[in-house]
Structure 1
Amino acid sequence: MKTSNAIYPGSFDPVTNGHLDLIERGEKMFDLLIVAVLRNTEKQPLFSVPERVEMLREVTKKWADVEVDVFEGLLIDYARKRGAGVILRGIRAVSDYEYELQMALMNRKLEPRLETVFMLPGEPYSYLSSKLVREIAQHGGPLEGLVPPVVEQRLRAKVS
């Protein structure tokens, strides 16, 4: 049963099959799942924000209730603007949980009506991160099963 609009925020640099696992499962839970790319000027991403948005739109187009957008600033402000009541976050390990718990509690303090839902990735993706994918690509390693084919092509072109 779907209950609300949710935001799945992240850098998605690049989008991985782990991200897509959460998007696919989240899309079934919410009326609208907004995949929100964070515009963070403090980080040096491999892909620009427009490139990440384009890749995300390509790999999520099969889900009617998924929208890709960009935000900057406080997530709670963006959630208010978009009418979202839920933040969807993935947790792979205890280290993720500690960070995500702190963020969820702060968001709750700033906006008590905004809930955070934590999801565990599917087992095949429990070790997967964008950082590891970038490192593997930069060293010419195999990316099969880690990212969608369109993302693999873009990664290979970017790092070669």
Structure 2
Amino acid sequence: MQRTAIFPGSFDPFTRGHEALIHQALRLFDKVIVGIGNNPSKEGLLTVEARKRLIDDLYAGNAQVEARIYEGLTGDFAEAAGACAIIRGVRNTTDFEYERTMEATNHRLYPGIVTVMLFTPSPVADISSSTVREVLAFGRSVDEFLPRGIDIRKYLSK
């Protein structure tokens, strides 16, 4: 039986930190589905379709990683995907407190799905999507924050 986990988030944009967490998760699970949350009321740097395309491009040829767009509760998405776990990245104590609260709620609503918290590796723990967006807004290169080979300009709306 294949063990599938979902890794939910906005991924606006997908960073080296996200990539490191997927690498860790693949040591524990057979498949990771990157769940790109779509909140139509939020305007981000990248469209949700562009975020999916970026992740698809990055993991092209790797059947263990799949990107999907979803709306609604993450637990509902996890159940529909046949996932046994929800992966959450933790960079610091603030992340931990937030994720612990989310885990408790998800455990009540979806007792059959476990939340697995993975610590973001130190070399990339300071990278956040919001930092990438801010650096980019000031016209600076964000290449060092993104997975190698990803040119963010390719995914920006025209």
> After TM superposition, is the score higher than 0.5?
yes
- One-letter amino acid of the structure 2 residue matched with residue 92 of structure 1: R
Indicate whether 1:154 and 2:154 are aligned: yes
Scaled by the length of structure 2, the TM-score of the pair is 0.91
SS at match of 1:35: strand
Q: Which residue of 2 is the match for residue 124 of structure 1? A: 123
**Count of equivalent residues:** 157
Q: Which residue of 2 is the match for residue 69 of structure 1? A: 68
List runs of 5+ in structure 2 lacking aligned partners.
none
Indicate whether 1:58 and 2:57 are aligned: yes
Q: Which residue of 2 is the match for residue 15 of structure 1? A: 14
Structure 1 position 113, deviation (Å) = 1.0
- Map 1:16-55 → 2, pairs under 5 A: 16-55=15-54
Contact 2:47–2:157 under 8 Å retained in 1: no
Q: Which residue of 1 is the match for residue 78 of structure 2? A: 79
Q: CA RMSD in A?
A: 1.9
Residue deviations 1:68-126, cap 9 Å, x none?
11111011111111111100010001111111111111000001111000111111111
Contact 1:15–1:151 under 8 Å retained in 2: no
Mean alpha-carbon deviation: is it higher for 4-13 or for 62-71? 62-71
Distance in 2, matches of 1:29 and 1:131, equals 28
Identity of aligned residues (%): 34
- Map 1:88-99 → 2, pairs under 5 A: 88-99=87-98
Distance in 1, matches of 2:59 and 2:144, equals 17
Q: Which residue of 2 is the match for residue 5 of structure 1? A: 4
Structure 1 position 43, deviation (Å) = 1.8
Distance in 2, matches of 1:118 and 1:154, equals 31
Scaled by the length of structure 1, the TM-score of the pair is 0.90
- One-letter amino acid of the structure 1 residue matched with residue 150 of structure 2: V
List runs of 5+ in structure 1 lacking aligned partners.
none
